[in-house]
Chain A
Amino acid sequence: MNKLIPISEAARRLGVSIDTLRRWDSAGQLSSVRSGPRGHRFYNLSDIEQFTKDQYSIAKKWVESSFAVEPESYMYCQTRDVFQARLESFQAKLSMEMSISTTSLITAVSGEIGNNSFDHNLGNWPDVTGIIFSYSLRKRIVVLADRGQGILKTLKRVKPELVDFQGALKTAFTETISGRLPEARGNGLKFVKEVIVKNPFTLYFQTGDAYLYLKQYDKEVEVKQANTFIRGCFAQISFEGGI
Chain B
Amino acid sequence: MIIQLKKFGKTLVSRPSGKEAWLAFQPVLNETVPGEEVTVDFTDVLVLTPSWADEFLTPLYNSYGEKVKLINTGNPSIKASLAILGR
Contact = CB atoms under 8 A, between A and B. Distances in A.
Interface of A: 80, 84, 87-88, 91, 95, 100-101, 103-105, 107-108, 111-112, 115, 118-119, 184-185, 187-188, 190-191, 194-195, 198
A218 to B, nearest CB: 16
A84 B14 contact: yes
Given A91-B47, A112-B13, A112-B49, 16 more contacts: A84-B13, A84-B14, A100-B76, A104-B76, A104-B77, A105-B76, A105-B80, A107-B11, A107-B13, A115-B13, A184-B58, A185-B54, A187-B54, A191-B80, A191-B84, A198-B80
B44 to A, nearest CB: 12
B46 interface: yes
Contacts of A103: 46-47
Given A105-B76, A108-B48, A108-B77, A187 B85 contact: yes
A70 B68 CA distance: 45
Q: Majority SS of interface residues in chain A? A: helix
B71 to A, nearest CB: 18
Contacts of A195: 77, 80
Q: Majority SS of interface residues in chain B? A: helix
Contacts of B15: 115, 119, 185
Contacts of B16: 80
A187 B76 CA distance: 17
Interface string B56-87: 00100000000000000001111011011100
A111 B49 contact: yes
Interface residues of B, number: 23
Report the 10 A-B pairs with minimum CB-CB distance, sorted nearest first. Answer: A111-B13, A108-B77, A104-B77, A187-B50, A107-B47, A101-B76, A115-B14, A191-B84, A191-B50, A108-B49
Given A112-B51, A187-B50, A87 B80 contact: no
B20 to A, nearest CB: 12
A194 B49 CA distance: 12
B76 to A, nearest CB: 5
Contacts of A91: 11, 46-47
Interface string B27-47: 000000000000000000011
Contact of B14 (A80, A95, A105, A107): A80
Nearest to A108: B77
22 contacts: A80-B16, A88-B11, A100-B46, A100-B76, A103-B46, A104-B47, A107-B13, A108-B81, A111-B49, A112-B49, A115-B13, A115-B49, A119-B51, A185-B15, A185-B54, A187-B51, A187-B85, A191-B80, A194-B80, A194-B84, A195-B77, A195-B80
